[in-house]
Amino acid sequence: MVVKNNGVEKLTLEAVAKEAGVSKGGLLHHFPNKEALIIGMVEELTNDFFTNVQDRAMRETLEKGKWSRAFAEAIDEDLKEGKEIGTALTAALFTNPDILSKFQNQYAMWQKNIENDGIDPVRSTIVRLAADGLWYSEMFGLGVLEVELRKKVIQELINMTK
């Protein structure tokens, strides 16, 4: 929440400890420095997101387009619930871009799955890119959509996968 509420430049161990209601020493026991804290934050949030996409794809009964739908639905859930993954990625980008390599590798695998999703690979890629764009729009406050319009956009993306 420190990064989301105050920006990356305000991310300090003291601020995180205060927000978490623990002593700085207690925080240092788990995260010896700011980079370790950011790595932990990115790993936890990205693992949750990765698992969400994977689980959705595996539960799909309609094989055709399942990865594209799972990705769009996971982003929709992330936006609705404010899961902070964008905040974590922003913090990583500004402190140590190498932290993003796991996320980049996962995206590369998803793109392969999406391209081989049983629908036109151009269409499935457009769905992924549009979902990403919606996510980034909200993450950076650029042309943020009203909730009702966002729902309709997500539904249209999902329709494109069928």
DSSP for residue 75: H
Q: Which pLDDT belongs to residue 14?
A: 74
Query: In this structure, what are the phi and psi dihedrals at residue 17, rounded to the nearest 5 degrees?
Result: -60, -45
Burial class (CB in 10 A: 0-12, 13-18, 19+), 82: exposed
pTM of the model: 0.79
Kindly write down the DSSP assignment for every residue of 81-149, as one continuous string: HT--HHHHHHHHHHH-GGGGHHHHHHHHHHHHHHHTSSS-HHHHHHHHHHHHHHHHHHHHTSSPPPHHH
Under the phi-then-psi rule, with left for phi > 0, alpha for psi from -120 to 50, and beta for the rest, what region is 115? Answer: alpha
Q: What separation in angstroms does the CA of 13 have from each of 6, 25, 73, 81?
A: 14, 10, 34, 25
Q: Which DSSP letter does residue 10 get?
A: G
Q: Give CA torsion, residues 44, 47, 48, 54, to 10 deg.
A: 180
Per-residue pLDDT of the chain (162 residues; tens, 9 = 90+): 555 555 556 666 677 677 777 777 776 777 788 778 778 877 887 888 899 999 999 999 999 999 999 999 999 998 888 766 777 777 777 777 788 888 888 889 999 999 999 999 999 999 999 999 998 898 888 999 999 999 999 999 999 999
pLDDT at position 76, please? Answer: 93
